[in-house]
Amino acid sequence: MIRVPLKKGRATGEYEDFLTGFTTDDGDVWGRPVGVAEGSDGSLFVTDDASNSIWRVSYAGK
């Protein structure tokens, strides 16, 4: 998954890797993210239809 930075509500033309690791170094796919929802605490829930999983992504702080 990628993150597209916005400036004044418009895409800047850049992108950043956000959630990675769904492919192996030799190109095999073990996961396929297909949907995203936001939790009440700000975390993201990502559905993965290749592994029948729901991943929770949260920020722990620096």
Q: Which helix (H) or strand (E) holds 10?
A: strand 10-11
pLDDT value of residue 36: 94
- 25 part of a folded domain: yes
- 15 part of a folded domain: yes
- Cα(28)–Cα(8) distance, rounded to whole angstroms? 38
pLDDT value of residue 21: 84
Number of domains in the chain: 1
Q: Is 6 helix (H, G, I), strand (E, B) or coil?
A: strand
pLDDT value of residue 50: 84
- 62 part of a folded domain: no
pLDDT value of residue 45: 97
Residue 18 lies in domain: 2-57
Q: Which helix (H) or strand (E) holds 55?
A: strand 53-57
pTM of the model: 0.71
- 6 part of a folded domain: yes
What tens digit of pLDDT does each residue of 3-60 get? 899 999 999 999 999 888 888 889 888 888 999 999 999 999 999 988 889 999 998 8
The runs of H, that is alpha helices, within the chain are: none
